[in-house]
Amino acid sequence: MLLTGLGVALTGLSSFAVVATLALDGALGPTTTWVLMLLTRGVVFGVGLAAIPVSAMAFVVATTSAGERTAGLSLLGAAQGTAVVVGPALGALAALAGLLGPVWAAPAVVALALVLVALLVPPSPPSPKSVTEGPSTSAGGMRPWDPRVRSWLLVGFLLNVGLGLVLFTLGFAMQDRGALAPDAAARATGAVSLACGLVLVAVQGALVPRLEWAPRRLLAVGVPCAALGLTGLALAPGAWAIAVAMVVVSGGLALASPGYVVGPTLAVVEHEQSAVAGLVTANNGLAFVVGPVLGGALYAAAYPLPYALAATVTLAGLVVLLLERRPTPAGSLAVAVERG
């Protein structure tokens, strides 16, 4: 699945680069260009990209024990955070070759990933060191409302909705609350995003694996930290206050996210891990559909509203998770780890 996803993504990005090149050469009209870009960059690349985090998460789960899973998935998150930091820098470097430099560099990077996976990742993962015991789903497959995973998915959905509310409006907040010109606001937003990415990498790549906390504990500490930062965003008087609040938000989310991702994997049996990975990924995608749309509407109404709502929904998700008692198999290693 990982190879297939990378192959489809490579096809989409390569086709997009060809369309962009032809359009700049005047060989395509505006409407044709728009339709082809939507199909190549939006549909084909999107379909391929959707398979990659699911298969990567499932592979990590299949090759780690319950006790190692938080560290393993946290490192996966740190890798994604590193990509967020490194990607724009590579794009800026590729732009030295011209406007189409980043457009052609993107499929080259995906092609490199495809080669590395083909050479270094075994065709099927080694047997897991421990298999999570517990009741299986019905023949109809796992659903988001499965009592074993529903509260985890809810808290993750609300966390990502809160993040979407913030990311979509951060540039506007820098310009309005920081009293910055558009170009200065863009530079400040980029600098803050870089700092947040570095915090994410440091926390998920170094701190979480060393803490060895259970998923609930990571959420119990990370969500209030993120909510504190979101409250600071709602009250921020200027650009520096926004920057500090965003760093706090990033630190909290970097702690909470591994807990949300690991929690459902410990609640299901081994052969359901791919289904859980799919639900988690789809859950994240749905949140980032809702968050930006809602954030834009709330920001247009009043400045503090997106951040006040983000703080509220993240805390609400944590409360639901902590209060719900899910059916778990007594005595299993997964339950012992999950309960901390």
Residue 236 in this model has a pLDDT that exceeds 70: yes
Residue that wins the pLDDT comparison between 53 and 243: 243
> How many residues are listed for the chain in this entry?
340
Confidence of residue 65 (pLDDT cuts 50, 70, 90): confident
pLDDT at position 113 is 95
Q: What is the structure's pLDDT at 127?
A: 57
Identify the helix (H) or strand (E) that includes residue 235: helix 215-235
Task: Please check the confidence at residue 208 and state whether its pLDDT lies above 60.
Answer: yes
The pLDDT score that the predictor gives to residue 338 is: 47
Distance of CA 120 to the CA centre of its chain: 24
90-142 residue pLDDT tens:
887 888 888 899 999 999 999 999 999 999 988 776 655 444 444 444 444 67
Domains and CATH numbers, the chain: 2-120 (no CATH), 150-339 (1.20.1250.20)
When pLDDT is cut at 50, 70 and 90, the band that residue 228 belongs to is very high
Other CB atoms within 10 Å distance of the CB of residue 31: 8
Most confident of 8-17, 276-285, 308-317, 330-339: 8-17
- Asked if residues 95 and 101 have their Cβ atoms less than 8 Å apart, the reply is yes
Q: What pLDDT is stored for residue 335 in this prediction? A: 44
- In this predicted structure, the answer to whether residue 337 has a pLDDT above a threshold of 70 is no
> Which of 18 and 89 is assigned the larger pLDDT?
18
73, 61 in Cβ contact below 8 A?
yes
The torsion defined by the Cα of 55, 60, 66 and 70, in degrees rounded to 10, comes to: -100
pLDDT of 76 above 70: yes
Distance between CA 210 and CA 192 in Å, rounded?
A: 26
